[in-house]
Amino acid sequence: DSGVTQTPKHLITATGQRVTLRCSPRSGDLSVYWYQQSLDQGLQFLIQYYNGEERAKGNILERFSAQQFPDLHSELNLSSLELGDSALYFCASSVQGGGETQYFGPGTRLLVL
């Protein structure tokens, strides 16, 4: 158990819908990272927050957004969902914002029908 929690574990929804994925980092970690894992693209970095502020942005679609709250938990919002958004979404956390050792949560499996 890495200490990073993610909810929900599974999510099934329809195209065009909007969902919110939630992540709580390890106690004491200030930085949260979101990754998408799909069969064709592998593990892709989406976005990073550090102490409430956006720190780095990767291959995140405009339909996706994220935020980190004062209690340091983070939410990833996915809207206007398409079939191709079906994937595993991982959250990771680290102590500081420099990307050093990242600990991953168990992931949220999203299926868009």
The footprint of other proteins (CB under 8 A) covers: 2, 4, 31, 33, 42-43, 45, 48, 50, 55-56, 58, 90, 92, 97-107
18 or 57: CB nearest other proteins: 57
CB of 3 to other proteins, least distance (A): 11
5 or 79: CB nearest other proteins: 5
79 or 88: CB nearest other proteins: 88
CB of 48 to other proteins, least distance (A): 6
- Alpha carbon separation from 72 to 32, 46, 69, 94, 111 (Å, rounded): 8, 18, 5, 12, 27
Backbone angles phi, psi at 83, to 5 degrees: -55, -35
Exposed/middle/buried for residue 95 (C-beta within 10 Å: 0-12, 13-18, 19+): middle
73 or 79: CB nearest other proteins: 73
CB of 14 to other proteins, least distance (A): 24
Q: Are 15 and 112 in contact (CB under 8 A)?
A: yes
CB of 80 to other proteins, least distance (A): 25
Name every residue whose Cβ is closer than 8 Å to that of residue 61 and which is 6 or more positions away in sequence: none
